[in-house]
Amino acid sequence: MSSLKSFEDLECWKAAREIRIFVSRNIIIKFPADEKYALTSQLRRSSRSVSDNIAERYGRFNYQENIQFCRIARGSLCESLNQVITARDENYIDDDLLQEFRVRYEKAKAILNGYINYLVKTKLE
């Protein structure tokens, strides 16, 4: 961890960034205009919230706060999946795009869970 110079070096932030970019470039653009202030806005905010919370966490030096921000990021990640499922239910996207998102979601979730576990373990030492 001592080699980290920025939140941009964190693997969990990189995975969250990939989610955000995928949502913006592949999913939201498929939504109809009447979803602009509903599902589009909500999915954009939740997908951004994942990396936002990881970055904000990085700027804090209290383990408990760090863990809490990462848990909030994980919640936003789950919220994003739910919204992508909603997009599929509304036929805005197809099953293949949902599956592509799920692959990125599972990767980001695993990395984030590993980081949370690392922070919890480090706090106890």
Mean pLDDT calculated for residue range 99-113: 98
Q: Dump pLDDT digits (tens) for 65-77.
A: 889 999 999 999 9
CA dihedral 10, 12, 13, 17 (to 10 degrees): 140
Cα gap 95→117, rounded to integer Å: 32
Number of other CB atoms surrounding residue 122 within 10 Å: 12
Q: Dump pLDDT digits (tens) for 79-96.
A: 999 999 999 999 999 999
pLDDT for 36 equals 93
Largest Cα–Cα distance in the chain? 52
pLDDT, the chain, mean: 93
pLDDT for 62 equals 75
pLDDT for 125 equals 65
pLDDT at 2 over 60: no
Q: Where are the domains of the chain?
A: 8-124
**Confidence band of 122 (pLDDT split at 50, 70, 90):** confident
CATH of domain 8-124: 1.20.1440.60
